[in-house]
Structures are given as C-alpha cells and as structure tokens.
C-alpha cells in the first residue's frame, strides 16, 4: 500500500527501447511479490501480450486492459486469476493497438488509467504495470498513475541513449502531471562480466547515483527457455542466477521503493514456494479455485527445411548460357558518347563566336 493513502502502490516497468528485459522484469517481479505474501495485480498494457501468456493466459482475453481503459469494466471485473496465489492479471490484447486513438479523444486523456485504478479492490497491495516499448499515450497514462517507475537497461551504448530519453520523458510527466512521482529506480539487466559492461555500468551509476538499484540481472539462457514455455523464470527454475536476482529485486523494491519505512520483508521460504507453484494441480470448478499451470512443451529442433526457390536458382545458375560478343558493341557505344561530347563542345564554341 502507498504510505498513508490506503491505495495500492503502482509500480510501472518502462523503457522505450525494446529487447532489454522489460516484460521479463514485470512478470518476475509480480510473481516474486506475490510469493512474498503481497496481493498483486499485473496489468499488461502491451498489445503483444507477452506478460499475459507468461502467467498462464492461453487464449485471447475477452475482458482485460483495453476494456478497463475504455471504462467498460472496473479493475475487479477486468482481472482474471492466474495459477499463482496472490497474483491476478489484467490481460493485454491486440485491441490495445487502437487504444492510443480512442484514449486521445477522451477528456484529460493522460488520467484515464489513474481514474480506472481508483476502482482497485481494497485488498490489493501492489499493481505492477508492463508498458509497451514506446512513450505513447499508454505509457504516459501508466507514468501518471505511478508511484514507482523501474527502468530496466542493458549496459550497452545504444541502450544507454534510450535510458536518457526514457528518463527525460518520465521527468516531463512528473513535472506536468504527477508531482508525487519521486521514486524511480534503474535496473541493470542482461549483465555480463566484461570490461566494456563494467565501464558502462560505472558511467550510468555516475550519472544517476542512488537511482541505480543494488541488483543486477545476469544474462541467463533460462530466460529464453521460460519464455518458450510460457512460464515466469522464477517458477521454471527459482535457483537459476537470474531468478535469484529477481527474487532479490522484489525484496529491494519492497524495502526501498514500495514499503519505505515499513517492516522488512523476509525472503525465507520463497524459493520453496515458487517450486511448489510449478507442480501440477487438479482442475477444479470451485469458485475461487486457481487455474492449473499452463506449461508449453520444451523447444525441440524442427524438420529440415525443404528446398527453397533460392536453392533451385543456385542449382541451375550454371546452366544459364553466357552472353558473348558484347565487346565491340560496348566499344562503339563509348565512341559515340565521346563523339557526341566533342560535337557538342564544338557547336557551343561556334555559337559563342557567331554571337
């Protein structure tokens, strides 16, 4: 809960550069907060809906973030249960691609999400919002509603440039629309033990100081495996290095960003809880029963590709006869061009003297 307000803390994960672990961070942070005993809602504002599939959504949602933004439903009716206790989902959908246009014509369009979140049930502690990788009207709405903004960044030159732009845009929102937004953290993702990365990390830390969170998410191939199997990384393998880092991030986020001044949260038993959440459970139609964990099969090599048009072309290229006898034609063409240039010059000089 936000200090002294009784409303849930809204944590926005945003960067306008894609491919830096934004959705992975949103999903695993939300799951870890739920494992720490917080009642969490994950809102997927990205039309790609990868956050939704990562927490068990196997079919397009009839009601989700788009309907919430339109005002068709409140937060409680936009939510759906996930296989993980304490975690509910407001799913993304393809309709969010049109939301920018529809929201833009509403009165005070930058406050649409904030007004919608006013209907959040009172038992919710934290709302985690996964933003699209662009600073459009959806990301502006999320920033206006935010209490905390986390900016994932890969320590690389191009990502560093994107971080500065994202930071500048968030500061503009804070100046004009959300004066209460004073908590922002920069999270290093996909880190490696290399001299270049260390130099970039030091440069970012020198620029942003205490805004840099004391957690680094290492590059981990299990992240790809988790995405392929539609599971949060911390559920697929809670002991992998990146999963351990995300569990640490949840503890740091609670202590430094969300429950500042509150009681310290113990991470004891979280790994065992996450292991337990992956186990299959019998399907139940009882009201309030959690859905089963939906896990896609592991990736396997596919069949060898069939012969393509390019292969057929390369196989027959030697059969194309060479065109010969062009040498004299090219020579004649060059002579004609040169003759034209000489005649043009002579005609020009003649006209000059005649005048």
**Residue that is last in its domain, among 244, 278, 312:** 278
CA distance 53 to 278: 15
Same domain, residue pair 169 and 58: yes
CATH number for the domain spanning 170: value is: 3.40.50.300
Let me know: does 41 contact 10? Beta carbons within 8 Å: no
The domain of 272 spans 9-278
- Domain boundary among the residues 252, 278, 304 is at 278
pLDDT tens per residue, range 314-348? 665 555 555 556 666 777 788 888 888 878 777 77
Q: Are residues 84 and 174 in the same domain?
A: yes
Q: Is the pTM of this model over 0.85?
A: no
What own/partner pairs with CB < 8 Å and gap ≥ 24 does 191-197 have? Answer: 191/154, 191/155, 191/216, 191/217, 191/218, 191/219, 192/218, 192/219, 197/155, 197/156
Q: How many domains does the chain have?
A: 2
Looking at the fold, whether 231 and 354 belong to one and the same domain comes out as: no
Determine the pLDDT at residue 355. Answer: 63
The predicted structure's pLDDT at residue 325: 61
Residue 296 lies in a domain: no
Same domain, 256 and 329: no
- Give me the average pLDDT of each 10-residue run along the chain (355 residues): 71 90 96 95 95 88 92 95 94 91 90 95 95 92 95 84 87 92 89 88 88 93 91 94 96 83 69 87 61 65 61 57 62 81 76 66
Q: Are residues 96 and 243 in the same domain?
A: yes
Q: What is the pLDDT of residue 180?
A: 87
- For 167, the token pair is 């930071």
pLDDT of residue 54: 93
Pair 141, 245 in one domain:
yes
Nearest to 64 by CA among 52, 56, 54: 52
Q: What is the reported pLDDT for 105? A: 87
What pLDDT does 76 receive? 95
Amino acid 23: pLDDT:
96
Residues 213 and 339 reside in one and the same domain = no
């Amino acid at each position: 809960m936000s200090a002294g307000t009784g409303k849930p803390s809204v944590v926005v994960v945003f960067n306008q550069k894609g491919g830096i672990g934004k959705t992975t961070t949103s999903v695993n942070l939300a799951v870890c907060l739920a494992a720490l005993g917080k009642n969490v809602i994950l809102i997927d504002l990205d039309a790609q809906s990868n956050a939704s599939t990562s927490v068990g959504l196997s079919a397009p949602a009839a009601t989700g973030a788009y309907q919430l933004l339109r005002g068709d439903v409140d937060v409680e009716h936009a939510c759906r249960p996930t296989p993980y206790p304490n975690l509910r989902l407001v799913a993304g959908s393809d309709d969010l691609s049109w939301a920018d246009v529809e929201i833009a014509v509403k009165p005070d369009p930058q406050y649409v999400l904030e007004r919608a979140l006013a209907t959040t049930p009172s038992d919710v502690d934290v709302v985690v919002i996964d933003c699209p990788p662009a600073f459009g009207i959806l990301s502006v709405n999320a920033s206006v509603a935010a209490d905390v903004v986390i900016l994932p960044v890969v320590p690389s030159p191009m990502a560093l440039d994107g971080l500065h732009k994202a930071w500048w845009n968030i500061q503009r929102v804070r100046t004009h629309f959300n004066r209460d937004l004073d908590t922002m953290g920069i999270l290093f993702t996909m880190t490696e033990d290399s001299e270049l990365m260390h130099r970039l990390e030091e440069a970012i830390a020198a620029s942003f100081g205490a805004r840099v969170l004391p957690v680094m998410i290492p590059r981990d191939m299990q992240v790809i495996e988790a995405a392929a199997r539609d599971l949060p990384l911390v559920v697929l393998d809670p002991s992998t290095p990146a999963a351990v880092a995300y569990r640490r991030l949840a503890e740091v986020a609670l202590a430094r960003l969300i429950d500042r001044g509150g009681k310290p949260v113990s991470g004891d038993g979280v790994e065992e809880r996450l292991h337990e959440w992956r186990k299959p459970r019998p399907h139940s139609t009882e009201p309030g029963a959690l859905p089963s964990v939906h896990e896609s099969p592991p990736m396997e090599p596919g069949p060898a590709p069939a012969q393509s048009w390019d292969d057929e072309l390369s196989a027959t290229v030697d059969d194309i006869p060479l065109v010969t006898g062009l040498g004299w034609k090219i020579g004649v063409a060059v002579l004609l061009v040169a003759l034209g240039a000489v005649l043009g010059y002579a005609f020009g000089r003649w006209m000059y003297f005649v005048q």
